[in-house]
Structure 1
Amino acid sequence: MVRRVTLDLEVSVSPIEAIRVFRELAEEAGWSLERHEGSRLVDRFAIIMPMAQSARTLGVKILDGPLKGTELTCWSETRGSAGAVNIASWLVPGGHDQPQSLLMIQHWVARFSRCPWRWSFGERSKVGYLLPVWRKSRKAFTSLGFDTSKAGWPYSLSTPWPLS
């Protein structure tokens, strides 16, 4: 069985907000959508032993247009004893490094109410202040071309949406 190549991003925004922004972008472009819900098996660490746990997933898939087949699935998982890390998983046919898909991800980030790669001190402390999640998230957004320094937010674009 072939594993699908996804771009998984740890984000500070809720899964509901991430899906809502994606849906708004697709609706503005006039693309039809398909919603889906499901569950995903995630690991939760209890002291030193991992325990399998189920996480509820929300997702939206584009059914037509130039980004046909693009899918965003989001969920929250509890890695330790408290708090949750929100994950947005992008599945883009042909890869996420195409210009059209990168433009959509940039517009997706620009419409958030808060910076998706930055968490508050309280959020980090509740989940685990020294977890590698926080740096990994910033590195993932940097590799997509975002300025993840303090001056990089709010993120604004000069290119219009929807795609022509």
Structure 2
Amino acid sequence: VIVTPQPQCPKYDTTLYDACSSLSKRWIKWDHSTPNPFSKSDLDEFSATQVQGFLQSILGSETPLPQDKVQIMEEVYGFNSYRNAEIKFRWLRICIQSRLKDQLPIALQFVTDVGRMKFIRPIYRDLYNWEEARAEAIETFKRNRPYMMIYIWKIDTNNNAGQFVVANANSK
């Protein structure tokens, strides 16, 4: 019988992740009827990847943030002015999940300007699932279809699930 030692589990430094997680938990738990405890300096020490992690943590929370919290987050951090597509993508998905109507034009402009399917598909899917935004999202897609290299949208008329497929741009 050969006895082998147990593999050692490496101990990773989670300091960078912990900062993102801590800030997202503060936003989620904050009672927005109390004074705003957040400031732009919350993100001063964050790398772009940490900002993405912070937004992803909020995006993955069980319930969407209330609209007024999301609006305050924009006032504090100014995510609408970010040019980093990874950050803007996560920010817009948070806004769509919270049903912020004033962010709809920004989201539609984003899917028009950014051609990567990794960004476009989830946002179109989120917009499709938001009944008030659905028609405008479909119209935006149809208007921009000739400029896309691939189709990324197909409405499933059987169950209105808004399924996405990839097809050649020349297919009918």
Larger radius of gyration: 2
Looking at secondary structure, tell me which structure has more helix per residue. 2
TM norm structure 1: 0.29
TM norm structure 2: 0.28
Looking at secondary structure, tell me which structure has more strand per residue. 1
Higher relative contact order (CA 8 A, sep 6+): 1
